[in-house]
Structure 1
Amino acid sequence: MRSIIFILLGLLITVHGGSLSRHKILEVERKLKHLRRYSLKTIVSEDGDVIDCIDINKQPAFDHPALKGHKIQMAPTYNSAKEDIPVGTRTARNKNHSRNGKMMNQRGEELSLTVTSQVWQKSGKCPEATIPVRRIRKRELLKAHSVEDYGRKKPSFYHHQNGQVNKNLDSFVQLKNHSKAILFTVGYRYLGGKADLRVCNPYVEKDDEYSTTQVALLTGSYNDFECVQSGWAVNPSVYGDRQTRLFVYWTADGSKKTGCFDLTCPGFIQTNNEIALGAAIYPISIPGGLPYTITIYIYKDPYTNNWWVQYGEKTNIGYWPPELFETICYNAQSVEWGGEVYSSSIGHTPHTATQMGNGQFATVLDFSSAITRMRIHDNSEFLKIPEWVTDYSDEYNCYDVWLMSDYIDDPQFYYGGPGRNPKCP
């Protein structure tokens, strides 16, 4: 048996080009053992995921040195989810796209908005006083450059086009190896951002690339920006497959040394025992089909300065405590809605074929990806539609954007694209 183990380890080292050392393998084993030591129940999902129900007071967040002795806030003290105008009373003037608050296609047919669920929930439930934690697979940790790098985005810097930087845009919008198609707003002290995100399953070409759609709040300079975000992602390097999954992400320094997806590093404190970060969500929207959506709301508790993530209209998943940050713990400078693709092939030929959204360009209205019911919370009492927004695309021939705001009361944002195509070789 021992000889078989050594043979398998040898094959692993050979497959990955000799990059795996005995030290790294032992480090990975220690990490996995550490993560599972407080599991009180295990749920095997039909999609292959394993969910460990972890004691809420022993969750990974408390391995962060700044959170030693942190007392969990089980519920926010304040929630600004009430809107300035009830959604049901909005009546659009363009019946081809919205009628009495309902989504319509260009033929005037009603499209019912349906919230998605998570696959693992079919197989069991975590007890009270525990949180569901998606088990990290050993092979994903072994593929990472290091155990510390696993679950973290690559550091990002300015796009320099002919030596120039677009000074009309906020510094944290333009990122190297990242292609964005977004709508964003600046100019206020932002305490929250919300939207309905249509859930898709874009094609991701390589294992070290990803495609995400999210609500994000940001502040700071281009090389040290702080950010909290949540949405859905297809990210093989973190999740080991190409399923669409719910995620949260944070960083306090532009992803250089801090932050990660979900609970893959200490930081995010989860309070909910029903939602598993990183778990697959279903059903998925397809072009021309029903627009299945998730509602994401990120907002700051004004009394504790915790940044909460709400899933749907009332399910609070957990929060990022202010100890993780220096400036965003007070407020954000910008709110973003839209898609992001990461690839080292962005800006080069051949361009990556990784899709954004559902792979359709934004101008194909009935078939493209959409984000609706975009809201901000500033210093006012209620959530509201942002007064000033800008749409932006890094690579318009690869992934484009279109904001529908004329003749309707509630703007709708379309985004996405196929990546590599005749206009984006």
Structure 2
Amino acid sequence: MAFKLIIVFLLILIAIVTSKKTNIPRRHAIKTIRVKDGDIVDCVDIYKQPAFDHPLLVNHIVQMKSSHLDQMKYTSKTLQNSSSSKAPSQPWLQYGRCPNGTIPILALTAGYNYSGARANIKVWNPYVDGVNDTEMRLHLDYSSSQVMLRACPVEHYDIVKETVEAGWMASFTFITAMYKTFFKVVLFGPLVYKDFKTRLFVYWKADNGSSCFDLICPGFVQTSSEVLLGGDIGTYNYGSEIEFQISKDPDTNNWWFLYNSEEVGYWPSDIFQSMKYEANMVQWGGEVFSPYVGTHPHTDTAMGNGKFADRLYRKSGTMTGLLIEENSSPLKRPESYTISSNEWNCYDADLLDEKVPEPVFLYGGPGSHFNPNC
């Protein structure tokens, strides 16, 4: 199983832990059976099984029963004379059976697909460039830390086709959220928070171009009456950890968001295409958005708490308990990691994986704020 820690800096600067898998296409299933051990069994029309992809079998008619084996049935004398019995049916049949006219096909992937992820993210209030700086530059900056599940093309993992995300964000001007439907484009925002408070957010993007933060536009379905999306997390929480988890319901395929174990709501599977059933990438990380990344002067907007990754005292941006779900099986620890970056002078990252019960991700940096090296 490949699991990588990658730091990517584009127009959006991002320090992330990334886990990704390659999918093997699945056939249209009339029924899907999920087995406790993580296997997924698709019940596929008998005439749409892989055999009929062979060019010489296009007009083949299935022989539903042998013409001769009934006359040759044989029971081993050894088995007859022993106290043992034939092995029972396969365990997956305890969880359901395929309808008549279908056959069971094991849903194969290169490894497993992802159905969830969680992390305990330490909350901070990083410095964010505003519109009233001394240079009078227009800023639409934000700094965020989040858990992300994504679908990306196998050959281009830097292209995010679909995503669901949850975490905290500090910004002066809230991001302009764009919702597209066919040829109609509606811009929601910019919605000004009028402060730099750290706020809870959720975000989604679909392959048809639709995307949205919180409840600004159609998409996320909220069920909790206790959690305010876009709401102030509270200064009393700065420096403390909050649990963020995203988990796919195996029955409905809806993606649920949990905030400190509270079920907040879900992204319906119907708004997605690639992520209707699973994600092939998991990411945890910090993100800085600004018109002034990759330029000089660089943005002053900080990531994490504005300090570079601090392995010794953990006083930088920190995430603990990085766990994943595969095929709706129990949360588990990822297996291997890699770190890379192309702007270490502005933001960086590190990982503690030895002598700790669960991985600890350290990340952050000041941007160019009191940092002439950026």
TM bin (shorter chain): 0.5 to 0.7
CA distance in 1, matches of 2:315, 2:160: 37
| C-alpha spacing 1:390/1:334, structure 2 compared with 1 (3 Å) | farther
| Alignment map for 1:200-239 (pairs within 5 Å) | 200-206=124-130, 207-221=139-153, 222-223=158-159, 225-238=161-174, 239=193
Unaligned runs of 5+ in 1: 1-167
Check conservation: 1:243, 1:280, Cα contact below 8 A.
yes
Quote the residue 1:399 is aligned against: 347
Quote the residue 1:75 is aligned against: none
Quote the residue 1:196 is aligned against: 120
- Is 1:241 the counterpart of 2:195 in the alignment? yes
- Is 1:414 the counterpart of 2:345 in the alignment? no
Code of the aligned partner of 2:171:
N
Quote the residue 1:376 is aligned against: 324
Check conservation: 1:228, 1:251, Cα contact below 8 A.
yes
Quote the residue 1:296 is aligned against: 244
Q: Once the 2 structures are TM-superposed, how far is the Cα of residue 225 of structure 1 from its aligned partner?
A: 1.4
| Alignment map for 1:2-21 (pairs within 5 Å) | none
CA distance in 1, matches of 2:317, 2:8: 22
Tell me the SS of whatever aligns to 2:270.
Answer: helix
CA distance in 1, matches of 2:160, 2:352: 33
| Alignment map for 1:13-412 (pairs within 5 Å) | 174=8, 176-187=10-21, 188-206=112-130, 207-221=139-153, 222-223=158-159, 225-238=161-174, 239-253=193-207, 257-284=209-236, 291-313=239-261, 315-363=262-310, 365-379=313-327, 381-412=329-360
TM-score by length of 1: 0.55
Tell me the SS of whatever aligns to 2:120.
Answer: strand
| C-alpha spacing 1:228/1:194, structure 2 compared with 1 (3 Å) | same
Q: Once the 2 structures are TM-superposed, how far is the Cα of residue 363 of structure 1 from its aligned partner?
A: 2.7
Q: Once the 2 structures are TM-superposed, how far is the Cα of residue 281 of structure 1 from its aligned partner?
A: 0.7
Code of the aligned partner of 2:20:
V
CA distance in 2, matches of 1:212, 1:224: 18
Code of the aligned partner of 2:142:
Y
Tell me the SS of whatever aligns to 1:345.
Answer: coil
**More helix by percentage:** 1
Q: Once the 2 structures are TM-superposed, how far is the Cα of residue 391 of structure 1 from its aligned partner?
A: 3.4
CA RMSD of aligned residues (A): 2.3
Identity %: 42
CA distance in 2, matches of 1:197, 1:337: 9
CA distance in 1, matches of 2:229, 2:298: 31
Q: Once the 2 structures are TM-superposed, how far is the Cα of residue 224 of structure 1 from its aligned partner?
A: 5.2
Check conservation: 1:263, 1:277, Cα contact below 8 A.
yes
Code of the aligned partner of 2:347:
Y
Code of the aligned partner of 2:200:
L
Q: Once the 2 structures are TM-superposed, how far is the Cα of residue 394 of structure 1 from its aligned partner?
A: 4.5
**More strand by percentage:** 2
CA distance in 1, matches of 2:309, 2:340: 12
CA distance in 1, matches of 2:242, 2:19: 21
Count of aligned residue pairs for this structure pair: 250
CA distance in 1, matches of 2:144, 2:333: 23
Code of the aligned partner of 2:11:
N
Tell me the SS of whatever aligns to 2:356.
Answer: coil
CA distance in 2, matches of 1:372, 1:224: 25
Check conservation: 1:192, 1:297, Cα contact below 8 A.
yes
Quote the residue 2:87 is aligned against: none
Q: Once the 2 structures are TM-superposed, how far is the Cα of residue 252 of structure 1 from its aligned partner?
A: 1.2
Q: Once the 2 structures are TM-superposed, how far is the Cα of residue 320 of structure 1 from its aligned partner?
A: 0.5
Unaligned runs of 5+ in 2: 22-111, 131-138, 175-192
| C-alpha spacing 1:200/1:319, structure 2 compared with 1 (3 Å) | same
Q: Once the 2 structures are TM-superposed, how far is the Cα of residue 310 of structure 1 from its aligned partner?
A: 0.5
| C-alpha spacing 1:251/1:343, structure 2 compared with 1 (3 Å) | same
Check conservation: 1:230, 1:248, Cα contact below 8 A.
yes
Check conservation: 1:185, 1:390, Cα contact below 8 A.
no
Check conservation: 2:115, 2:248, Cα contact below 8 A.
yes
CA distance in 1, matches of 2:227, 2:9: 31
Q: Once the 2 structures are TM-superposed, how far is the Cα of residue 257 of structure 1 from its aligned partner?
A: 3.7
Tell me the SS of whatever aligns to 1:391.
Answer: coil
CA distance in 2, matches of 1:335, 1:400: 19
Q: Once the 2 structures are TM-superposed, how far is the Cα of residue 388 of structure 1 from its aligned partner?
A: 2.3
CA distance in 2, matches of 1:267, 1:232: 19
